[in-house]
Structure 1
Amino acid sequence: MPPTETTQKSPRRVLITGTAGFIGFHLAQLLLAEGFQVHGYDGMTDYYDVNLKRRRHQMLLLHPGFQATEGMLEDEEKLWSVAARFQPEVIVHLAAQAGVRYSLENPRAYLDSNVIGTLNVMEAARKLGVGHLLMASTSSVYGANEDMPFTEVEKANTQLTIYAATKKANESMGHSYAHLWDLPTTMFRFFTVYGPWGRPDLALFKFVDAILDGRPIDIYNHGEMYRDFTYVADLVRAIRLLIDAPPVRPTSRDEIEEGDSLSPVAPFRVVNIGNSDKVRLLDFIDAIEDELGIKAVRNYMPMQPGDVPATWADASLLQRLTGYRPQTDFRDGIAQFVAWFRDYHQK
C-alpha cells in the first residue's frame, strides 16, 4: 500500500483560492454539494470579463456553506486574516494569472500573482498547519519534452513561457515547504481543461463564439496540434479525491513505487490530471461544427511563440491514488459547453 493510502476522516473546511474562476467555481460547487464548508478567495482581476466571474460567485453564494472574500493573492495581510478566521483543514490553491499567450505581453503579472501570491498561500498553510495543501500546476511545465504520454517522474526543465516557468517555480517552492515544515503538498498538472462556465480566452469558447457570429477562427500550426482535452467536471472530481490522499513522507526510498512522483525527502507529490487521450485540433473543431450545425471560416496560422505541438497525459498515478481517471469523450464535453454557451449568451 502506498504511504498516501491512509484511512482518515474527510476534511470538511476548505479554503479555495480562485472560486470566481473557471475551475475553482466548479470545485466549490462539488464540495458544497458534498457538505463541505468552503471559503473562496478571489481577486476579480479584469484579465477577462469580470461579469462572468461575478455570476459564478453569485451562484455559489446561494449555498449556505459558502463564504467569499475579494482580495489579491499579493495582499499577504488580507489573505492571512481570511485564513486565520476560517481555520481551514485543507487549502486548494487555484488562483493564478492564467494564459500562456498573455504571459508574452505582461510577464510581471505572472511573477506577482503566481510566485509572490503562491508564497503567501504557502505561508498561510504553514502557519495554520493544514492537513493538506493542494496547488495547481499545468501541463505546460513539460515544455519541450517530446516523450509522450507525459509522466510525473520525467524531468521537466524546458519551460517555453513565463507562465509555465512560474508554475514550475511553484512546484519547487511547494517541495521546499513540504520538506522544511512537513506540510503535505500535492501539485496537480492540468491538461487543457474545458467545459461550461469556461474562460473566454480558451480555444473552445473563442471558436464557438466566432462560429456563431460568422467570424473566422484562427487555427495555429495549420491545425496540426494535439491536446489532451480534460472535461472540467472530471478534473474537479479528481481534485476532490486527491484531497483525501495527502502524501506522506517516506521513511526510505524503497517505499516509493515505480512511477510514483512522491518525494523521497518530503510529503510531496506531483499528479497529472488529464483524459489520457491525445486529440487532433482539427478533429476537435470538426466536433464543434457538428454540434453547432455550422461550418467555421478557418484561418490557418503558423505556430505561436511558446506553444507546443502536443500534450498527452499519463494519468495512471492519479488512478492508482484515487481509483479514478477522467474519461469524458471530447464530443460529449463540447455538447455540454455549447448548451451552456447558448443559454448564457442567448445565441
Structure 2
Amino acid sequence: MGKRKSGAKQQQQQQQQQRRSQWSFKRLMVGAILGFLVIQVIRIELQAAGSTKTPDEWRALVKQRPYARLPTDARSPCPMLNLLANHGFLPRDGRHISKAQLYDALVLVGAPPTITYGFLTTVVYRMYHRVAPDAPFWTNFVAAPTIDLDMLAIHNLIEHDVSLTRLDSALDDTAIPQANLVRRMHQWTLQHDGQLDMQAEHDLRKIRWYESTLSNPKSHLGLLYQFSSSTECALLLDILGRDGTMRADHIEALLLDERFPDDWYPREKAYPALQALVRPLKCWYGIRKSAATLESLQALSNDTQQILV
C-alpha cells in the first residue's frame, strides 16, 4: 500500500515537472519572439531617425523636384501618394513602385516608421499581388515586388466610398479629385476660423456620407472602412496638416492640384506611433457624433453648396 502511494506521488511529481518544463519553454519562446520584435522596431526607428527634414532642408530638396505630371501617369485615390509622385519622390509615372521606395517617401514626410513598414509589408504589397491562374498555391502568400498607384483604386481593398475629395468608385474615377468637393472644403474652412480642424473634417465627412447614400445605390462604408477613413483623417490633419489642423490656403494646392505649396514643409519628427493609433479612434468617434446634415451646406455660397445627388 505504501509502495503504491509512493509510486503515485513520484508520478505526480514527474507530471508537475513536465508541466513546469513545458511552461518554461513556452515562456522562453514568447520572450524570444518579443525580443526579436523589439529589436526590429528599434532597428526600423533608428534607420528612419535621419529621414525627416528641417524646413530649410525641405525647401532645398523640393526645389530639385518641381511639380510635373503627364496625362498618362498612374495616380491613386490618395492625395499624399499623388503629391509624392508629382514631385518625383516616387516614380513620376506612378508605376513599378517598390516597397522600399514607398516606405522612404512616406517616412520623408513624417509617417510613423514602424507602423508604415508593417502596413506596407503585411497588407499593401500582399493585398495587391496579382496571382496568375496557373500559379502554385503558395504564391497566394507572396508579396508583390512592385505596385502601380492606380492599383490602389481597386474598390473595397483599401479604397472605399465616402471620400472627402473623390466621388464613389461607382460614379467616377477615384484617382481624380473633384474640384467642387475640394473647393467646398476650402469654403467651409474659411467660414470656420480659416483652418480645417478636427470638427470641420468630421462634419464634412458626415455630409459626404449622407451624399454617398443618396447618390450611389452601391454605397458601402462598413466598420472596417469607417476606421480606414478615420486613419485618412489623421494623415490629412497631422501629416499633410499639422497638429490636427490644415491651413485653408493649403487645401486646394494639396488636395486638388496635388502639389506641395511653396511654404509647406513636412513634420520635423516622425508622427508618434501612439498618436497614430489613437487619433483615428478619435476621428471615428467624432464622425459618428457629428451633427452635420445635408442642410448644413446651406450656409455655403451657391457655387459650393451643390449636393451631389
- Could you tell me the TM-score, scaled by structure 2's length? 0.31
Say which structure is richer in strand.
Answer: 1
Higher helix share: 2
Larger radius of gyration: 2
